[in-house]
């Protein structure tokens, strides 16, 4: 797997169980994913995990990232502090598709208290398989970067 195809995933304590299930899901599909933590359900500070994942995606060490916390909101706020990151909180398949097509989101944030395991897998599959539409959206993405 080349760096351009690598995927990084992280969670806080609230997202740990769902993250573990998602990592197993990737393993069943022979897809490597780098686990940036946390590694148990002990209370931890989500901004630390979000920052690590976002910095690695922004540095192009990984093409895309997934962050999981209770609602996905905290992780997205923290990740979006890093230049070059477009982290989207997604809780349905349509938003997953649109966040890639129109916003070229490079980090997917999911709330483990909002989204169940089956829906999370559907969201991730759609998000990973959808490309950026470009065109008129390029200008808007450039505006976000400035």
Task: Please list the active-site residues.
Answer: 69, 102
SS (H, E, C) 48-65: HHHHHHHHHHHCCCCCEE
Name 121's Cβ contacts closer than 8 Å, sequence gap at least 6.
22, 25
SS3 content of the chain, % helix, strand, coil (to 5): 50, 15, 35
Find all residues with CB under 8 Å of 35, minimum gap 6, and list them. Answer: 9, 10, 19, 23
């Amino acid at each position: 797997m080349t760096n351009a195809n690598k995927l990084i995933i992280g969670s806080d304590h609230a997202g740990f169980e769902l993250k573990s299930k998602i990592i197993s899901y990737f393993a069943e599909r022979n897809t490597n994913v780098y686990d940036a933590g946390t590694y148990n359900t002990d209370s931890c500070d989500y901004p630390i995990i979000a920052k690590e994942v976002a910095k690695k995606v922004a540095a192009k060490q990984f093409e895309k990232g997934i962050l999981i916390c209770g609602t996905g909101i905290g992780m997205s706020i923290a990740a979006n502090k890093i230049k070059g990151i477009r982290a989207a909180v997604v809780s349905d398949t349509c938003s997953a598709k649109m966040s890639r097509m129109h916003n070229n989101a490079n980090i997917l944030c999911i709330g483990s208290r909002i989204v169940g395991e089956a829906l999370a897998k559907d969201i991730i599959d759609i998000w990973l398989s959808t490309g950026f539409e470009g065109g008129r959206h390029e200008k808007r993405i450039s505006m976000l970067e400035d």
